[in-house]
Amino acid sequence: MAGVHLKGIVKRYGKGDPVLKGIDLDVEESEFMVLVGPSGCGKSTILRVVSGLEEIDSGEIRIGERVVNDAPPRERDIAMVFQNYALYPHLKVYDNIAFGLRVRKTPKEEIDTLVREAAELLNLGSMLDKLPKELSGGERQRVALGRAIVRKPKAFLFDEPLSNLDAKLRVQMRAEISALHQRLKITTLYVTHDQVEAMTMGERITVLESGEIQQTDVPMGLYERPANRFVGTFIGSPPMNILDARLDGGRLAVGECIFSAGVPDELRNRADSRGFLLGIRPEHLEVHDRPEGLRATIDLIEPMGGESNIYLSTGAGRVVATMPGIAVRKRSDEVFLRFDPAAAHFFDSRSGVRLGEGSVPGRSG
Amino acid sequence: MGSFLRRYAQPYLFIAPAAVVMLLVVLYPFIYNFIIAFSNMSLYHLRNPEFVGLQHFRTIFTEPEIVSVFAKTVIWTVVNVAAHLFLGVGLAILLNQEVKGRGIFRALLILPWAMPQYITALTWRGMFNYQYGAVNLMLRALHLPAVPWQANEYWALAAPIIANIWLGFPFMMIIALGGLQSIPKELYEAAEIDGAGWWFRLRKITLPLLKPVLVPATVLGTIWTFNNLNVIWLVSHYGEPADKTHILVTYVYKAAFHYYRYGYAAAFSVVIFILLLSFVVYFLKATGEKGAAG
């Protein structure tokens, strides 16, 4: 086992803009690191350069103590799990799992022990004689996992491994992969576009956009202190509400509504009354009938069972609020919104960079 | 019966034209060939053929050249198909990579196939001319001895084989290229990460996954080559020297249309048909069983 360390990685395809614009990332030994971002953000490219399937234009890739910039994939001693599983269709499950060991000329008896061990761990014992086409999606994914773990590599690379599974199976495999990591403690780089997957699986998460790292932190760190507007809206479902805000006589103002809530000193110190952005998570918005706070009209209610998502229009833009239980209100109802200022986030309106969070406790109004 | 006709008249009417044509150009000649195979039809008995039983079949198997013609047919077929497979798959693998000017290479390599066979065959015959042919001119330029392509029994078989290899590999190449493009690239990437080298990937991934397309292509290629009249007939100029350059079909063709031995030639055709049929049944069974076993 070993950590994976990236320093200033730049990768360019052809003559256009680089896909990776200087990535610095340290995945510690035994860590489960999730790379998350929208499609085209470069997360899969990071896996491909770590695996050696793609060469980098500049920077340094270190696996354990060794700089592997110029090493071919086979010398890097990593294993990769692909989105479409990449099982060999003409080989039985046993031979699929044994493939990497045979390439490395492992003795036959040892291969047999290792393959059966891996099959046991992944509950594949009864399927060793089947061809991939005879397996379900979840079983195929487990075979792909088996092929990765059987070699006992220095690190695992997962490239959106659950995207091809249906929702229920995805939740189940999520738990299985997490449990597997708990057991084997192999350094893992896991790529996904699904922030729920990222939040539930990652020990730490790196959020990427257009080839740049936006933030690396533990899941709740990202959720509670997003470094910028992008991270704020990307992590969390439904996404964080972003509203134009300004200071009015030192107080926070959104639309026609002036709150008595405190704003961070940094914000207050900005002499100009230039606008900024207020970020507030749906579960921190309270919908009520008393005429205090921001006036809003209900557009749509999504009952989720345990909670309801309420989509509303306000003078400052559209927002979504999450309320526990089944909403008693209905479409077109006039309501008012308030929030705990301590739960608010503030971002620069141009750069999107975090300016601080609401800190002064007190009721909105 | 009346209701049956009413119910199915329309679909049968739709397939009728195709069915009639198939009956006329496939089934009727096929059966007619069987009938005259047992008759003494020839230039003398064109209008009044008589039933002669298995007489032609006895003649065929006691013919002094039969072994040599059959051996040449096997050599012709095996060498051609093997070369087509080797060149076709090899070139397909090269063309399937990111090469500059891939489109141009692809077009150039398909060219032999795009030309009418008989023109190609006659051109090759010219090129094999001892004194003025391009092949010998090149050999001389390289200070190698000229080859008697049309005078020596063995070189006279080699010449049409070379021409037919050139004609036939593009078909295999296109088939293999199609097969290669259907193999997901992740399989190679997974193997590369596992540490598999080029040769290992070729043996353990490419070839097994090409098998489903190569087996039917090989069967077709074998039948076409085995029954390929044009190339060997034209390049060897009807079997020269001294009827030494024959495979089964050119031998039959000469018997039928130069010597007018219709009954004999028809019987010979039946033998060829049975040979090919047995080959196809055996080959499909053999490769099919292997495929199922893994």
pLDDT in tens, A69-118: 999 998 999 999 999 999 999 999 999 999 999 998 999 999 999 999 99
Closest CB to B195: pick one of A84, A100, A147. Answer: A100
A24 with A109, same domain: the answer is yes
Phi, psi of A129 (to 5 degrees): -95, 5
CA B205, B208, B214: angle at the middle one, nearest 5? 130
Both A197 and A54 in one domain: the answer is yes
Coil, helix or strand at residue B51: strand
- Residue A124 sits in the same domain as residue A18: yes
Residues A205 and A289 occupy one common structural domain: no
User: What confidence tier does A358 reach under pLDDT thresholds 50, 70, 90?
Assistant: low
The ipTM value here is: 0.82
A275 shares a domain with A204: no
Q: Are A287 and A280 in contact (CB under 8 A)?
A: no
| Mean pLDDT lowest among A121-125, A244-248, A249-253, A347-351 | A249-253
My answer on whether A148 and A187 are in the same domain is yes
C-alpha to C-alpha distance for A16 and A350, rounded to whole angstroms: 26
Would you give the distance in Å from CA B241 to the centre of its chain?
23
CATH code for position A305:
2.40.50.140
Q: Which pLDDT score is estimated for B292?
A: 42
Distance between CA atoms of residues B103 and B100, nearest Å: 8
A249 — pLDDT class (breaks 50, 70, 90): confident
Specify if A364 maps to a domain.
no
Last residue of a domain, one of A186, A204, A230: A230
Q: Is residue A362 part of a domain?
A: no
* Chain A residues closer than 8 Å to B189 by CB: 51, 53, 80, 82, 86
**pLDDT tens, position by position, A197-235:** 999 999 999 999 999 999 999 999 999 999 999 999 999
SS3 for chain A is: CCCEEEEEEEECCCCCCCCEEEEEEEECCCCEEEEECCCCCCHHHHHHHHHCCCCCCEEEEEECCEECCCCCHHHHCEEEECCCCCCCCCCCHHHHHHHHHHHCCCCHHHHHHHHHHHHHHCCCHHHCCCCHHHCCHHHHHHHHHHHHHCCCCCEEEEECCCCCCCHHHHHHHHHHHHHHHHHHCCEEEEEECCHHHHHHHCCEEEEEECCEEEEEECHHHHHHCCCEHHHHHHCCCCCCEEEEEEEECCEEEECCEECCCCCCHHHHCCCCCCCEEEEECHHHEEEECCCCCEEEEEEEEEECCCEEEEEEEECCEEEEEEEECCCCCCCCCEEEEEECHHHCEEEECCCCEEEEECCCCCCCC
Domain boundary among A195, A230, A265: A230
Q: Quick check: A86 and B187 CB within 8 A?
A: yes
For chain B, domain boundaries: 1-35, 64-293
Q: Residue A294 sits in which domain range? A: 238-355
Q: Is A99–B204 a contact, with Cβ atoms under 8 angstroms apart?
A: yes
Backbone angles phi, psi at B203, to 5 degrees: -75, -40
Shared domain for A221 and A300, answered yes or no, is: no
Q: What is the pLDDT of residues A141-155, one digit of tens each?
A: 999 999 999 988 999
Q: Tell me, yes or no, whether A250 and A309 share the same domain.
A: yes
Q: Mean pLDDT in chain A?
A: 89
> What's the pTM?
0.81
Please compute the mean of the pLDDT values over residues A110-135 and round it to a whole number: 92
Task: Identify whether residues A169 and A271 lie together within a single domain.
Answer: no
Q: Structural domain tally of chain A?
A: 2
| CB-based contact, B192 to chain A, within 8 Å | yes
Q: How confident is the model at residue A365 (pLDDT cuts 50, 70, 90)?
A: very low
Cβ atoms of A155 and A185 closer than 8 Å: no
pLDDT at B293: 38
Which of A68, A74, A114 to probe the B interface (max B CBs under 10 A)? A74
Task: Give the CATH number, domain containing residue A30.
Answer: 3.40.50.300
pLDDT recorded at residue A360: 44
Say yes or no for a CB contact (<8 Å) between A80 and B190. yes
Closest CB to A104 among B195, B205, B294: B195
In a domain, A361, yes or no: no
**Cβ-contact A157, A51 below 8 angstroms:** yes
A257 and A187 share a domain?
A: no
Q: Which amino acid is at B39?
A: S
pLDDT tens-place string over residues A273-304: 578 889 999 999 999 888 888 899 999 999 88
Residue ranges of chain B with per-residue pLDDT less than 70: 1-2, 289-294
Residue A325: the pLDDT is 81
What is the predicted pLDDT for the residue at B291?
A: 45
Q: Tell me the residue type at A330.
A: K
Quick check: is A325 in a domain? Answer: yes
Find the range with the poorest average confidence among A155-159, A275-279, A309-313: A275-279
Asked if the structure places residue A268 within a domain, the reply is yes
State the burial class of residue A2 (Cβ atoms within 10 Å of its Cβ: 0-12, 13-18, 19+): buried
Q: What are the DSSP calls for B140-169, one per residue?
A: HHTT-----TTTSHHHHHHHHHHHHHHHHH
- The reply to whether A209 and A278 lie within a common domain is no
Residue B2: per-residue pLDDT = 67
CATH 3.30.559.10 fits B64-293, yes or no: no
Closest CA to B225 of B272, B260, B173: B272
Bridge-based pairing of strands A32-36 and A187-192 is parallel
> Considering A202, A230, A258, which residue would you say is the last residue of a domain?
A230
As given in the structure block, the two tokens for residue A66 are 């060794």
**Closest chain B residue to A129, measured at CA:** B294
Residue A268 has pLDDT above 80, yes or no: no
Q: Which of A76, A81, A82 to mutate to test the interface with B (most CBs of B within 10 A)?
A: A82
Closest by Cα among A106, A101, A2 to A50 = A2
Per mean pLDDT, which range of A233-247, A349-363, B3-17 is the poorest? A349-363
Which among A76, A84, A95 has the least Cβ separation from residue B186?
A84
Pair (A261, A213) in one structural domain: no
